[in-house]
Every structure is written in C-alpha cells, then in structure tokens.
Amino acid sequence: MKVCRRETFNAAHRLYNPTFSDEKNEAIFGKCNNPNFHGHNYTLLVCLDGEIDPETGYVIDLKILSDIIEEEVKEPFDHRNLNLDCPEFADLIPTAENITLVIWNKLRQRLDEKYTIELTLWETERNSVYYNGK
Amino acid sequence: MKVCRRETFNAAHRLYNPTFSDEKNEAIFGKCNNPNFHGHNYTLLVCLDGEIDPETGYVIDLKILSDIIEEEVKEPFDHRNLNLDCPEFADLIPTAENITLVIWNKLRQRLDEKYTIELTLWETERNSVYYNGK
Amino acid sequence: MKVCRRETFNAAHRLYNPTFSDEKNEAIFGKCNNPNFHGHNYTLLVCLDGEIDPETGYVIDLKILSDIIEEEVKEPFDHRNLNLDCPEFADLIPTAENITLVIWNKLRQRLDEKYTIELTLWETERNSVYYNGK
Amino acid sequence: MKVCRRETFNAAHRLYNPTFSDEKNEAIFGKCNNPNFHGHNYTLLVCLDGEIDPETGYVIDLKILSDIIEEEVKEPFDHRNLNLDCPEFADLIPTAENITLVIWNKLRQRLDEKYTIELTLWETERNSVYYNGK
Amino acid sequence: MKVCRRETFNAAHRLYNPTFSDEKNEAIFGKCNNPNFHGHNYTLLVCLDGEIDPETGYVIDLKILSDIIEEEVKEPFDHRNLNLDCPEFADLIPTAENITLVIWNKLRQRLDEKYTIELTLWETERNSVYYNGK
Amino acid sequence: MKVCRRETFNAAHRLYNPTFSDEKNEAIFGKCNNPNFHGHNYTLLVCLDGEIDPETGYVIDLKILSDIIEEEVKEPFDHRNLNLDCPEFADLIPTAENITLVIWNKLRQRLDEKYTIELTLWETERNSVYYNGK
C-alpha cells in the first residue's frame, strides 16, 4: 500500500557546468543556461510504501508527511534561487534529476526506514522525473 | 500491457476509532474526526495488466470494466455516507487506504484471475493511495 | 484588471427541503437527498476587480485575500457538515448555488467596496456555479 | 532515475476487424466501429530509465527525446487517419493498446538500449494504456 | 447566478471549403485539411444564467441540463464524423467556432428563454471557443 | 464569438520597489522579494472576440495568433529573468498584473483593432490575473 502527498514550490535556477566552455554550456543547456536565471513552478509527489496501521487505517498520517516536506523542501527551496541560495546545489547542477535526488536524500534521513520513498517531480507540465532510490 | 479506467464518486465519511478515547481520536484524526462527517470527491483509477487479444486489439473492453466499477464501486458508495450506509466500513475506518483495500477486494472477485489489478484513489488533489494487492 | 485566488475545502451536505414530502424530495434531489449525507471537494475561485496600485504592482496582495478566504470560508466550512455544523444553512438548502451566495455575502462584508467580487465554485469536475452579485 | 516527456497528437480512427461479421464488429466495438471514423486528442507520456550523466545532470536531454517523438510519433500520426494514412495499422486494429505497442517499437529502434522505455497513452481523460516492453 | 455543466464527446472532422482550390484549402487549413480526416476529444462547458429557485436552491437541476446535452450534442456528435455523419455540417465547415454555433442553436431551442446560454468548447488543451449568442 | 489560445513560458523574477526601504519591501513582498530571484511556469490564455469569417469558419486562424504570441511573449520572456533581461520591466515591478498589462499592450499593437483582446495569466495553479483593456 502506497500513500502519496502532492506539494508545490517555485524557484529560479540556471543550468551550466563551470568546467565547460561557454560554447559547450550553450550547446548542451541552450536557453536554460541564461546567466540571469529563469524559473519554474515545481510540483512534487512523494509516495511512501508501507503497511496499514490497523488502529488508524493510515500507512502514515499525511499531515506528518506534509510537515516534513514543508521543512525539508519548501522551507529551503520555495521562492529561492537554487544556484545561489541553496548549498545543496553549490557543486551540483540543479536539473530536475538532481533536485529529485537531493530531495530524496533529505526525505530518506527524516522518514522511518520501513517506508520506501518514491518521488515524482514535474518541472513543467511536459517534463518530469521519477526516483525511488534504486 | 496495462489498461486503465478513471471513475469518480462522492461520499461522506468520518475517521475515528471507537476503541480510542475522544482525546486520542481528536489527536490522531483532527478535523477528519468531525462527528457530523465531511466528504470528498473521490477519483479512482483502475488498471488491469494482461495480454492484448489479437482479434480485438483490447486487453479488456473498458466498457466492461466500467460496468463492473459501476456495480461494485459507484452503486454502493456514490452519494453515500461510508460509515453509516456501507456495511464494508461497519468495523473498518474509511481512510483512503481502507477504501482502496475494500475496492480492490471487490474488483478482485469480479475480474478474471489473469488480470493483475492496480488501484489509485485520490481523496483530494493532494492526497492519494496506490494498491496492487501485494 | 481582475486578480483571482483558488482555494479548496471539503464538506458533507444533504439536499432536501423540509416543506416537501419525502417523495418530492426524492423526485427533485435524487441521491443528493441521502439522509446520511454525502460530500464533495469544493474548489473556489475568488476574483476581485480593481486598479493596479502603481507602488506595489498589485490589485490586492493575494496573501491578504487568501487569509480572508481562510477565515470566512475554510475555517467555517472545511471538514464540516454544511447542514448540521453551519448556521448559514440552517434554513437554506446547501446547493452549490446557495453556498456560492453565502460565501459571496461573507466576502462582500470583508472586502473594500472598491472591489467587484466574482466567485466560481466547482462542486465536482463537471458541475460549477458563477456569481458576481448582480 | 526516470525522466518523462509529455506530448499530444490528434487523429481519426475506426475500430473493426475485417474478419468479423458486421454484427460481431458492432457487438464488440460499438460506436467505435463507425465506418466514417471518429477521433481523439491522444496524450503520450514517454519515460526513460537511466543513469544521471554527472557532467550534465541529465539522464537524457529531453529536447532530444522530444525531437525523436516528433519524428516517430507526431509527424506520422498527428492530424492523420490511423486506418487510412498510417501503414503501421494496415493490418492492426488501432486500439489504444496497439497504438502504444507501435509507438514503443518505433521509439525502441531510435533510443539507446541502455534506456528502458515506458509509455502511457491517454485516449480520453478516462481511458489510458501503459506499456514497458515486457 | 450562472450554473455550468461540463461534458465531453469525441469526433472526426476535416476542415476544407469546397469552393476553394486544393492549394487554397491547403494554405488556409494546413494539416486540418487531410481528406481522410483527423479527430479530437471535445470538451463542452454549458453555462445557464438565471435566478435561484428558492424552493430547490437550484438555478436548474443540472441532471436536466445534462440530459438535454446528451440528446442534442452527445447522441448526434459523439463518435461521429462531423462532415459525413452530421447534416448540421453538410454546408458548414466544422471548425470549433461553427460547432459551437450549431450547439448553441440546438440548446437555445430546448432551453427556456429565461436562461442565457454561454458555451465554451475546447478542441484541444490549447484551443478553445466561447459563444453566448450575442 | 471568442477564440482562445493557451501558451506557457518560464521565467525568473523578483518583486521589489527601489523607492521602498528594505523593510517595506520585505513587509509588502515577503519571500517574493528574494534578491536572488525565484521563478514560475506562467500559463497565458489569449482570447480574441470577433466575427466568424464565413469562408473559413474561423474568427482567426489560431496558428497566426500562436505565432504572434511566440514573437511577442515567448521569444522575449521565456527562460528569461524579467527584471534583468526584459526592458519592459526596467521601471515596472513584474507582478502578474504588470506582466499581463505589458503583454496586452504588445498584442494590441500586433492584432487588428476589430478584435477585442482578453488575457488570463496564471502565475501558479492558485494565483491568476485577467485583463481586457478596460
């Protein structure tokens, strides 16, 4: 049984690799490489796999999960510049893939090992990423 | 190959455990514990895994699946009070997890064993549950 | 210039008119007349028409509007039984039309007269109501 | 890590099996058997499973994936009659299942073997199909 | 007070003007001019403006409106070829604009004059039309 | 008769008024005042009101409207920093209201006076703005 919570946050970012030449950054990241940044409304779906507690009928109280997402994701990333404001991306390109990886690791530290964690992150209505730690 | 059908139903419910004290029910279920009930538009996605029939190009005629969902889910639960009107929840707290479990068992009895059944149930646009019988 | 804020709340309700016979209530309200109630996820869109303040670039700070909706709509109606818990519907059938009217009157008292108020309320993904006070 | 791209195309089709009698086609395919065709807005989600390239932070540049979908799916199927215009369906009933199978095989030939390919195809907002090649 | 009902139907169509040359049809209608047709999932929103009946709390019972849409729109257009199957488009190009006009006139004849009728028709998630009879 | 086209663009921005003190900017714009910017996926709906051309069945070819939106909105604003990259906002706070006003004026210059222009801009799934030039 898997339960899921959907949350949103808004952030600016820029995709570039400081070890690449300007030409290579342009060729690979195109308009995502704008040095003045652009931004997105990110939508995050967090799913936890576990047993139903027969006393509550819950796998987990989604209010608790929502509070953890608030602390670990919305507080540090919402209305931020991922490149400039967030130490997690000091040496990591803030692609949707890497944002998902960072969030997964942060949630893994906060959630009981008995839960499997699956994340889906939509960067736009057309582009998304899924990660389950494997 | 998996085929999916999306249906909706509307119901009232209340989350509480009669073996808990009032204080514990309040602490665990919060405003979901309102003794006068509240309600939701539930959205259900039913997915069946099977082989394509080469004669029809169908895994299953989704009209047939839709009719079974009508009989097993919409007829008993739509515009009902899950706690008061539905014997399935006489001794089971109607959380999204338990509603999903009940629906899965009802559909399992109606569908050929050759089909794997996966359910996703959205209680709100932010909260959902997934179950595949494992 | 019109600015809009979308919020959601979940509630139980029952449609019936105590001056009608049971047969007439059944004929008019059908399964919405279930004496044990059913429920919905309501989605509310509140739009205010006004001038842009040149100093802020805002018609209104939507955080302020959101707080007023919290107090006037979500606090009294979310996770409630509209018939039993909400005095606004003691003598008023809680159809989507009447819920919209009640919310409009509540918001009208809280918002500066300079703003025109337009409401859209979705009771399901198929049924909605619009009201602008005229 | 899985990355996904969502695209849309619009097409006409008819479901019928030339080896069936008219009565059997009618019984099985109902109004989908209209000899003059009907049509859909198809929504396709293509997901690829792979490793993050540490230099780019990408599993794959979704622009590249989008271009391949353009060539293999949108160019041949968008604004077409699947039965009459598309040789892929000369001897294959263009059900959502078979359309998904055909697209999967076309994409499989264009994408590096290191990527697992998963497709979800929505024929309407209620009916969808999922296929991952297994 | 305005109440709205959302319905869907799927149809094939072709855009071309028989008085135009092939070149002009191609220049104006592009791929919508495919002689073998293409198709869409159409989403229709029907809104009626009227007074709330104090006895029922309804502007109109949306079940009644839904039944009329079933008869006037879904029965004649769903799973049809608008050009070949529907006499309404024998001499009228089935653009979203003209489909909306035809539906508006059909509903106008079925609905009490006291109701204003507003229609929104989505041909795709990007293209839509609005008409209110003026 | 009104026809509408939906487009999206992604941008970074910061809300602050250089004539305000830091404290006042913080009090009014809150986290939107982050000096390192944040960002959004903007969704724009452009509606034009006009007569149906009887020869084409179109109010306007939406391909033409889409091309104008591409040139006037997506080319200058997509994947940009509205404050730093866009001269339109050199002296104008890039709130959703002002972005809508700027886009309306740009489209007004490109579209025939016979069309009324209505814009809806969603900054998030909860916040939106509407403007029709009045």
Q: How far is C51 from chain E (nearest CA, A)?
A: 25
Cα B112-B114-B117 angle, rounded to 5 deg: 80
Given E23, E32, E55, E97, the catalytic residue: E32
Q: How far is F122 from chain E (nearest CA, A)?
A: 14
Q: How many domains does chain C have?
A: 1
CB contact under 8 A, B81 and C32: no
Q: Are strands F127-131 and F80-81 parallel, antiparallel or unpaired?
A: unpaired
Compare all CA atoms of chain C with the CA of F18 and give the residue at the minimum distance. Answer: C55
Confidence of residue E25 (pLDDT cuts 50, 70, 90): very high
Give residue-wise pLDDT tens across range E75-119: 999 999 999 999 999 999 999 999 999 999 999 999 999 999 999
Q: Compute and round to an integer the Cα radius of gyration of chain D.
A: 16
Q: How far apart are CA B118 and CA B45, in angstroms?
A: 8
Q: Compute and round to an integer the Cα radius of gyration of chain C.
A: 16
CB contact under 8 A, E125 and D41: yes
Which one-letter DSSP state was computed for residue C70? I
Determine contact, residues D40/E10, Cβ cutoff 8 Å.
yes
CB contact under 8 A, D127 and B56: no
Q: Does the active-site annotation cover A123?
A: yes
Q: How far is C73 from chain F (nearest CA, A)?
A: 16
Q: How far is D88 from chain B (nearest CA, A)?
A: 14
Please identify every residue of B annotated as catalytic.
Answer: 32, 79, 123
Average pLDDT value for residue range F64-87: 98
Tracing tokens 């940009």 back to the chain, one arrives at F80
CB contact under 8 A, D100 and B58: no
- Identify the domain containing residue D85 by its residue range: 2-40+48-131
Question: Chain E within 8 Å of D84 (Cβ-Cβ)?
Answer: yes
Q: What six digits make up the tokens of C33?
A: 């007349």
Determine contact, residues E43/E121, Cβ cutoff 8 Å.
yes
CB contact under 8 A, E37 and D41: no
Tracing tokens 């979704």 back to the chain, one arrives at D62
ipTM: 0.95
Q: How far is F115 from chain E (nearest CA, A)?
A: 14
| Predicted pLDDT at D50 | 94
| Predicted pLDDT at C90 | 96
Best of E7, E52, E66 to substitute, by most chain C Cβ atoms within 10 angstroms, is E52
Average pLDDT value for residue range B57-82: 98
Between the alpha carbon of residue F109 and those of residues A29, C1, C37, the distances in Å are 33, 19, 55
Indicate which CATH number applies to the domain containing D100: 3.30.479.10
Q: How far apart are CA A44 and CA A96, in angstroms?
A: 11
Question: What is the b/e burial string over C48-86, where b = at least 16 CB atoms within 10 angstroms of the residue's CB?
Answer: bbbebeeebbbbbbbeebbebbeebbbebbbbbbbbbbb
Best of D17, D91, D95 to substitute, by most chain B Cβ atoms within 10 angstroms, is D95
Give the residues across from F127 on adjacent strands: C5
Amino acid letter for position C58: Y
Q: How far is A117 from chain D (nearest CA, A)?
A: 13
Q: Does the active-site annotation cover E79?
A: yes
Best of C47, C95, C121 to substitute, by most chain E Cβ atoms within 10 angstroms, is C95
Cβ-nearest to A17 among D6, D56, D63: D56
Q: How far apart are CA F116 and CA F39, in angstroms?
A: 30
| Predicted pLDDT at E2 | 98
Cα C95-B38-B96 angle, rounded to 5 deg: 125
Confidence of residue C112 (pLDDT cuts 50, 70, 90): very high
| Predicted pLDDT at C109 | 98
Mean pLDDT, chain E, integer: 97
Q: How far apart are CA A131 and CA B16, in angstroms?
A: 34
Q: Which element (helix H / strand E) includes E46?
A: strand E38-49
Please report all neighbours of D, defined by 3+ CB atom pairs within 8 A: A, B, E
Which residues of chain F lie closer than 8 angstroms to E29, CB-CB?
56
Give the contacts of A108 (CB within 8 A, at least 6 positions apart).
A117, A133
Q: What six digits make up the tokens of B24?
A: 């514990």
Compare all CA atoms of chain E with the CA of C26 and give the residue at the minimum distance. Answer: E56
Confidence of residue A38 (pLDDT cuts 50, 70, 90): very high
What residues of chain D score a pLDDT lower than 70? none
| Predicted pLDDT at B44 | 98
Best of D2, D47, D119, D120 to substitute, by most chain A Cβ atoms within 10 angstroms, is D2
CB contact under 8 A, A84 and F38: no
* Residue E29 CB-density burial (10 A; 0-12 exposed, 13-18 middle, 19+ buried): buried
Q: What angle do helix axes B96-110 and B62-69 make, rounded to 10 degrees?
A: 120
Q: How far apart are CA A60 and CA B34, in angstroms?
A: 20
CB contact under 8 A, F41 and A36: no
Between the alpha carbon of residue E68 and those of residues A22, C122, E56, E74, E129, the distances in Å are 62, 21, 20, 9, 21
Which residues of chain A lie closer than 8 angstroms to D5, CB-CB?
126-127
Q: Does the active-site annotation cover C40?
A: no
Q: How far apart are CA D14 and CA E38, in angstroms?
A: 11
Confidence of residue C131 (pLDDT cuts 50, 70, 90): very high
Give residue-wise pLDDT tens across range A102-130: 999 999 999 999 999 999 999 999 999 99
Give residue-wise pLDDT tens across range D15-48: 999 999 999 999 999 999 999 999 999 999 999 9
CB contact under 8 A, E47 and C92: no
> Which E residues, 30 through 59, put their C-beta within 8 Å of a C-beta on chain D?
31-32, 34, 36-41
* Residue D114 CB-density burial (10 A; 0-12 exposed, 13-18 middle, 19+ buried): exposed
Cα A62 to chain centroid, rounded:
18
Share of residues in chain C with pLDDT > 90 (%)? 99
Q: What six digits make up the tokens of D106?
A: 């076309």
